[in-house]
């Protein structure tokens, strides 16, 4: 990891470096993604099956694209019972947390004959994309599906790439069943996003697409936004640890590496006011990397996007944290709750040395689908809010409208919208 003194100049270079990882900077893939989406939009199942054969090597057809109940039952026999128990415990925590986010319709009536309100309506159909390929992510299934279930979405469908044998990872199927997915389809990549966005003979069009994926999936979601809603265009994972001299260097090193193992483009950053801590963390990182199974990926991540930033004082450190706006932020300081009150930008905040990032990834309950690439400055974690719509309710009696109708007419005429004004005027013609 690179150790640098924190200045305005080094902060500027760091932010520029981190932004290079954004999916928005990979325009060379855009044309290929658009070609796939256009094919799926036009040829529907025919294109979907052809791309599945090309990219996943699986023979998928209308007869086997939908995962059957028998396949799900078989999957349960192949998943370790202890893992199933953990998935069920995590599900309870995630449900409990998201239940507290639920919103309800409300109405406010006033004596002069005015009723104002807000109607909350769940989305009718949500699509959840779950990656396949090199890794299995049952936690991602829970985190994307459960908020939709809590929100009351009528139908939740999931797409995930099949293996060459046409099957889906057993643990993915088991997690989907536990979370409450209604239908699971064997489709991945940009072609699956196209199917969810436009609909095919086999896969219905959804109202919103959520879930992580590779660069093709991210760019496909960006391209179909407007036809459907999406959660976000997620970039590589990132962690930032804000620590002072009281922190345990071995804990911090382990936490930094927990994100570096995700991806060669993941970022792991320590911001500290202690030069001694910086040195010890650097030593622990070197020691731990050699012991981990994904050390090649971790090392490349650290070489490119691993930083230790030395700040003069905590105010300077906090300013840097807010400027970086990391996906995951750990605060390991003498008074972490006080520091937390001064944090404006972070996807999820972990407070204290026993609140390590994987606790949030798997078990605690808050969602692990978080804003990346500095978007924590204006985006939030995936939540129940992502699966509802809010409709305004307005009801005025004649008497209530009469008292203010001239105000509306004046406003409309000031914008030269005479038909707007007339819509109010005709109601009070003699």
Taking the C-alpha atoms of residue 74 and residue 167, their distance in angstroms, rounded to an integer, is 11
Taking the C-alpha atoms of residue 35 and residue 410, their distance in angstroms, rounded to an integer, is 51
Taking the C-alpha atoms of residue 189 and residue 33, their distance in angstroms, rounded to an integer, is 9
Q: Are the C-beta atoms of residues 140 and 130 closer than 8 Å to each other?
A: yes
**DSSP H helical segments within 119-214, as ranges?**
138-151, 170-179, 189-198
Catalytic annotation, pick one of 328, 330, 353, 357: 328
Catalytic annotation, pick one of 39, 178, 261, 327: 327
Calculate the CA 24 to chain-centre distance. Answer: 16
Q: Are the C-beta atoms of residues 356 and 330 closer than 8 Å to each other?
A: yes
* Residues sharing a CB contact under 8 Å with residue 245, sequence separation 6 or more, in sequence order: 273, 274, 276, 277
Taking the C-alpha atoms of residue 101 and residue 292, their distance in angstroms, rounded to an integer, is 38
Taking the C-alpha atoms of residue 310 and residue 27, their distance in angstroms, rounded to an integer, is 35
Q: Are the C-beta atoms of residues 128 and 211 closer than 8 Å to each other?
A: yes
**DSSP H helical segments within 166-293, as ranges?**
170-179, 189-198, 215-224, 249-260, 275-289
Exposure string of 325-358, with b = 16+ CB inside 10 Å and e = fewer, is: bbbbbbbbbeebeebbeebebbbbbbeebebbbb
Which strands form 328-332's sheet, in the order they lie side by side? 2-5, 306-310, 267-272, 238-243, 328-332, 348-351
327 is catalytic: yes
**Pairing state of beta strands 125-129 and 155-160?**
parallel
328 is catalytic: yes
Phi and psi torsions of 125, nearest 5°: -145, 130
Taking the C-alpha atoms of residue 312 and residue 296, their distance in angstroms, rounded to an integer, is 33
> Which residues are tagged catalytic?
327-328
């Amino acid at each position: 990891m690179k150790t640098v003194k924190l200045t305005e100049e080094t902060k500027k270079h760091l932010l520029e470096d981190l932004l290079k990882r954004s999916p928005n900077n990979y325009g060379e893939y855009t044309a290929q993604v658009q070609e796939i989406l256009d094919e799926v939009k036009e040829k529907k199942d025919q294109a979907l099956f052809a791309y599945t054969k090309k990219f996943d090597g699986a023979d998928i057809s209308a007869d086997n694209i939908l995962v059957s109940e028998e396949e799900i039952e078989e999957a349960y026999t192949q998943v370790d019972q202890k893992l199933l128990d953990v998935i069920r415990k995590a599900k309870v925590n995630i449900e409990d947390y998201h239940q507290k986010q639920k919103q309800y319709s409300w109405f406010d009536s006033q004596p002069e004959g005015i009723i104002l309100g807000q109607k909350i309506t769940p989305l009718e159909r949500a699509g959840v994309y779950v990656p396949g390929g090199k890794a299995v992510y049952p936690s991602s299934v829970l985190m994307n599906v459960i908020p939709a279930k809590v929100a009351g979405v009528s139908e939740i469908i999931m797409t995930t790439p099949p293996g060459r044998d046409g099957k889906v990872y057993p643990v993915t199927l088991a997690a989907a069943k536990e979370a409450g997915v209604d239908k699971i389809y064997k489709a991945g990549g940009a072609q699956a996003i196209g199917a969810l966005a436009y609909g095919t003979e086999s896969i219905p069009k959804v109202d919103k697409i959520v879930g992580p994926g590779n660069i093709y999936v991210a760019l496909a979601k960006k391209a179909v936004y407007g036809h459907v809603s999406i959660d976000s265009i997620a970039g590589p994972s990132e962690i930032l640890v804000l620590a002072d001299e009281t922190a345990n260097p071995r804990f911090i090193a382990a936490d930094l590496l927990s994100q570096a193992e995700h991806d060669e483009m993941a970022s792991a950053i320590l911001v500290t006011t202690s030069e001694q801590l910086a040195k010890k963390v650097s030593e622990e990182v070197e020691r731990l990397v050699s012991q981990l199974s994904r050390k090649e990926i971790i090392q490349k991540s650290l070489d490119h996007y691993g930083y230790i930033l030395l700040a003069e004082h905590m105010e300077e450190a906090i300013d840097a944290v807010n400027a970086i706006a990391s996906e995951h932020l750990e605060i390991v300081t003498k008074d972490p709750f006080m520091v937390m009150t001064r944090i404006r930008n972070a996807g999820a905040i972990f407070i204290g040395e026993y609140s390590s990032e994987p606790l949030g990834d798997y078990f605690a309950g808050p969602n692990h689908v978080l804003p990346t690439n500095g978007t924590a400055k204006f985006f939030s974690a995936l939540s129940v809010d992502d699966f509802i719509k809010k409709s305004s309710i307005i009801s005025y009696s004649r008497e209530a409208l009469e008292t203010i109708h001239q105000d509306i007419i004046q406003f409309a005429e000031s914008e030269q919208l005479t038909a707007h004004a007339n819509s109010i005027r005709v109601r009070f013609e003699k």
